[in-house]
């Protein structure tokens, strides 16, 4: 395969429009489209071809409600570190799309899976977690290319999620993902728009 200028331009547009979406329409995602996303994730790179990501689709309303409660408690604690105007700014941020997102996924890393036979991770076992991160990013770009939005919820107690979903003990929680059709499209990141944090570009150092 040889990529040309239209391919490069398309990828650049997808990267620019890949935003952490928190405002979703409740319309369901068609199952064939979800299957396309699953297939895209299978193209993600992983160390030693270990493919350690384990993805759980969470449809049960009670489990979703428990995660929303977990988020609310963790968010209240996180807010305590801010004061004054910064606290007011924090309280005004919408930090999760748990109520409206029609598709919600819990992503885990299986620690030391048999797949890959240990190749490439003997000295750097954390590359398994990096592989899961690559799978998440692949899903994010695949969703955006199909006009879907994805938001990652990180304000959760990771120790609570595995037992809540009754997954194996050697699955380490990585991320809770909300997917759906965005209420609006905007290539300006939410935190930029809210005045919380602009992008910074640390220079590449040379040695």
* Position 149 pLDDT exceeds 60: yes
Listed range (37-51, 154-168, 190-204) with the worst mean pLDDT? 190-204
* Position 164 pLDDT exceeds 90: yes
Question: Is 194 part of any domain?
Answer: no
Q: What is the pLDDT of residues 64-101, one digit of tens each?
A: 999 999 988 988 887 888 788 878 876 676 657 788 89
pLDDT for 181: 95
What's the burial of 57, exposed, middle or buried (CB within 10 Å: 0-12/13-18/19+)?
Answer: exposed
pLDDT for 180: 96
Question: Is 10 part of any domain?
Answer: no
Can you spell out the DSSP letters for 125-173? Answer: TTHHHHHHHHHHHHHHHHHHHTT-EEEEE--S-HHHHHHHHT--TTEEE
Highest average pLDDT, of 8-17, 59-68, 72-81, comes from: 59-68
Alpha helices in 18-83 (DSSP H): 31-41, 61-79
Looking at residue 146, which CATH number applies to its domain? 3.40.109.10
Question: Is 135 part of any domain?
Answer: yes
Count of the separate structural domains present in the chain: 1
* Position 5 pLDDT exceeds 80: yes
Average pLDDT, the chain: 87
Question: Is 29 part of any domain?
Answer: yes
86 vs 168, residue with greater confidence: 168
* Position 54 pLDDT exceeds 80: yes
pLDDT for 202: 79
* pLDDT confidence bin for 198, thresholds 50/70/90: low
* Position 30 pLDDT exceeds 70: yes
Question: Is 58 part of any domain?
Answer: yes
Q: 93, 196 in Cβ contact below 8 A?
A: yes
DSSP structure class, residue 202: P
Calculate mean pLDDT across residues 10-39: 89
pLDDT for 51: 92
Domain that holds residue 165: 19-183
Question: Is 200 part of any domain?
Answer: no
Question: Is 151 part of any domain?
Answer: yes
What SS3 class is residue 117? coil
* Position 190 pLDDT exceeds 80: no
Q: What is the pLDDT of residues 117-128, one digit of tens each?
A: 777 687 887 889
Question: Is 188 part of any domain?
Answer: no
């Amino acid at each position: 395969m040889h990529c040309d200028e239209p391919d490069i331009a398309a990828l650049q547009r997808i990267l620019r429009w890949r935003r952490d979406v928190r405002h979703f329409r409740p319309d369901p995602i068609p199952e064939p489209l979800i299957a396309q996303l699953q297939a895209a994730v299978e193209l993600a790179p992983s160390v030693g071809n270990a493919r350690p990501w384990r993805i759980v689709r969470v449809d049960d309303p009670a489990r979703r409600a428990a995660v929303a409660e977990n988020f609310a408690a963790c968010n209240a604690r996180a807010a305590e570190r801010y004061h004054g105007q910064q606290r007011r700014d924090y309280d005004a941020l919408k930090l999760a799309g748990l109520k409206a997102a029609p598709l919600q996924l819990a992503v885990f890393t299986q620690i030391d899976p048999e797949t890959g036979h240990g190749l490439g991770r003997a000295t750097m076992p954390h590359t398994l977690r990096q592989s899961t991160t690559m799978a998440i990013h692949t899903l994010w770009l695949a969703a955006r290319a199909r006009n879907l939005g994805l938001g990652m919820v990180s304000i959760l107690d990771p120790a609570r999620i595995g037992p809540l979903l009754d997954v194996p003990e050697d699955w380490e929680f990585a991320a809770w993902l909300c997917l759906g059709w965005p209420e609006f499209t905007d290539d300006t990141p939410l935190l930029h728009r809210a005045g919380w944090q602009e992008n910074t570009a640390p220079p590449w150092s040379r040695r």
